[in-house]
Amino acid sequence: MVKNCLIDFTQFFDRDLIFALSKIYILILNKKEVSFMKKVKKIVISYMLTCYASLSFACDYPSPPKDLPDGANSNKEEMLAGVREIASYQDDMSAYLSCIEKNEIAATKSLTNISENEKKLRSELFNKKYNAAIETQIRTVEIFNIEIRRFKEKSK
């Protein structure tokens, strides 16, 4: 996707961000403008978008807990440890969401010379990233809630 770059950005950035940035880059360069300075300006804006996109990678995406207890075969202590893991995961996810939100606000404020279409693309990318993180968190908690119900059924 980013084959003409000197650096392979795929090792630093996630696939969705590279895709969105390449869409923005294509939108900028495909406009029919003749002026050399306008083209230079668009290339500089593309470069700035790439640089500011790296701000969002300062936020560590928390991975869901992998060893959650099986409700049917776990004792109370194991289930309580699972509750603590889920609570810690939710705290980490809240910190991550707050971090990407702050970075997006800062990046948006610093990019004053972008078109409404480019702003819309940035907003869509941010919303997809934010919503995907929320969905992952909800799925993880729902899976553990199933295990809690299984544990309670076993305990009756």
- Among residues 69, 81, 67, 64, the alpha carbon closest in space to that of 150 is found at 69
Does residue 117 register a pLDDT over 80?
A: yes
The pLDDT score that the predictor gives to residue 155 is 82
Is residue 45 over pLDDT 80?
no
- Specify whether the CB–CB gap between 52 and 110 falls below 8 A: yes
pLDDT in tens, 46-56: 666 655 555 44
Residues 64-74 have pLDDT tens digits of 998 899 999 99
DSSP state, residue 4 = T
**Residue 43 token pair:** 């290339």
Q: Dihedral sign, CA of 16, 49, 117, 29?
A: negative
Q: How confident is the model at residue 4 (pLDDT cuts 50, 70, 90)?
A: very low
Q: Is 69 left (phi over 0), alpha (psi -120 to 50) or beta?
A: beta
Is it the case that residue 140 has pLDDT exceeding 80?
yes
